[in-house]
Amino acid sequence: MTVVRVAAIQLAVTEDTQANLAGAVRLVEAAAGQGAQIVVLPEFGNHVSWYADRDHARRMAQTLDGPFVGTLAATAAEHELYLLVNCTLAQEDGRTTGSNVLLGPDGSVLATSDKQVLMGSERDHLDPATEASPVVETPLGRIGLYSCMDGVINETPRMLAVGGAQILLNSLNSFALDEASLHVPVRAVENRVWVVAANKVGPLVPGHSIDAVATAVGVPTELLHGAGESQIVAPDGTVVARGPRTGEAVVIADIDVAEADDKRRPDGTDLLASRRPELYGAIVEAPRGRRAPAGRATLEAAVLAPREGDDVLALVREAASGGAELVVLPELAGWAHGVATPGASPQLTTEALRDALAGTTTLAVTSVVDDDRHVGLVVGAGGVVHSQPQLHTCARHAAWATRLSEGLDVIDLPWGRLAVVVGDDALYPETFRLAALQDADVVAVPFTTAAAHDLDLLLLERAAENRLNLAVASRPGTHGAGMLVPLSADFTLWSGGWQFDGVISRSEPVFSAGSVTTATLRPEQAVNRFVSRGTDVVDGRPWALADALVRPHDLAEASA
């Protein structure tokens, strides 16, 4: 057991660089006084992240050998701790970047990483990273660095995780409430790593211009403040320490770093070893934009959560007669308790499902045993419309599901484009990214919940970071059944037309309640992927830096 005390600091930053530095030093020293060995400061610590123009941003930028970084390096050395500082840097190649600087306990610069995904106005003043972020080997563990918007989509934290990181340090400059409720903790659980995230409080724009900026971006003035809630998250998604919504704080926790080396699901599936990099090539290709037309405005959908003794076909008929055009059943709905026995016959056949849909245009989705494959099926009154074999290995189906698919397909339907994600393929962020890159509007997920946060973090983030409507079905279990996730129409900041309420990209899920749960999905909203002016959550991914996602990965070597 390697127990390390970590701290996330939240504070306000203004245009006064010297005052900002003094505040950072004071709080780092407070963390050191509580025994912290790793301390994380928020993003853009040198100057509030709003500038008149690029020249102004360049004038306010720091250098690695300048007084801002140097003073914090001396503080780290004085207290013999690792300190993550984030500030704008004036790079020698002429770029001005938002950069993380990891300082060692001797005050040396151990690593820097530039922000990869710029958000909104940052694009006007700063330049993105040209290199991937490193994983830093230290006596306390392997550390990865990322910043704010880099964690609102999955690629940057994922690159660090497949590179062997055990602790991810995230510096934030965010007014979004969904950072703390979704985007920060999901990066821990999807990668089975520790996350230490430090966010700002106080105004994120200078006081003399905050009202004008609030009007321009469509954010009420009172919400254009750092959202706080700095937090430390365990590899299972548990938030072990969290700061307040407002006010300065030093958030402290003791973490067992070795917990990040266990990547197994409850059934024994290793979530990183089971990745299939050879399938993810589209993620590192240059963006091409969405090509498919928008889907229909609305789609009535249902998810089934059959309990023991339920007549599944009757539930399908109930959903269809209630107006659902898409009905998603749990994986292996034809087998008792979702457990398929090689050679055994299912209790529910594809033919029976087809007959239950007779006279309707409703489509039903579940999965079946197809010899040595686990296959998702889309079934209508005329029979099977689409089949999608599982992409990734799954320990609980290992006795029979030995042949995997070589790709994910998306099909056109009258109401939009549908992808089927089969069973535990839902645990891999890459699967949904592939669906988004094929212009899917809706993803049906016949699934089995098996761990905390399968729904409220893992799958909810898949909708948010890809702008996909989800219909997830599972048998009821300790960790819930299914959910429907309709995309919101209010999404793009700086676009006008909606009143920002503090949440940017977290859709409101409709969790399964009873055997049949229905909701209205919004296929046409999948075409809007711009979270802010110029920032596309799909095409804005750091594709040119993401080779680590498609390289064969030797976990033993990465952990050595």
pLDDT at position 347: 80
548 inside domain: no
274 inside domain: no
- Residue 157: phi and psi, rounded to 5, are -60, -35
Q: How many other CB atoms are found less than 10 A from the CB of residue 288?
A: 9
DSSP 452: T
Strand partners, 366: 377
| In a shared domain, residues 135 and 258 | yes
| In a shared domain, residues 57 and 122 | yes
* Number of domain units in the chain: 2
542 inside domain: no
| In a shared domain, residues 14 and 153 | yes
CATH number at residue 308: 3.60.110.10
Q: Walk along the chain (560 residues) in steps of 10 and give the mean pLDDT of each run.
A: 94 98 98 98 96 96 98 98 98 97 98 96 95 98 98 98 98 96 98 98 93 85 95 98 98 98 96 97 97 98 94 96 98 84 78 95 96 96 97 95 96 98 98 98 97 97 98 96 94 77 92 96 97 93 98 55
pTM above the 0.85 mark? yes
Contact between 112 and 99 under an 8 Å Cβ cutoff? The reply is yes
| In a shared domain, residues 259 and 368 | no
pLDDT at position 217: 79
Cα-trace Rg, the chain = 24
CA distance 434 to 436: 5
How far CA 246 is from CA of 12, 40, 506, in Å, comes to 10, 18, 21
pLDDT at position 559: 40
pLDDT at position 497: 67
347 inside domain: yes
| In a shared domain, residues 322 and 231 | no
| In a shared domain, residues 95 and 199 | yes
| In a shared domain, residues 244 and 95 | yes
User: What's the domain range around 63?
Assistant: 3-263+553-559
| In a shared domain, residues 223 and 332 | no
356 inside domain: yes
277 inside domain: no
| In a shared domain, residues 198 and 341 | no
| In a shared domain, residues 311 and 212 | no
| In a shared domain, residues 115 and 176 | yes
| In a shared domain, residues 252 and 315 | no
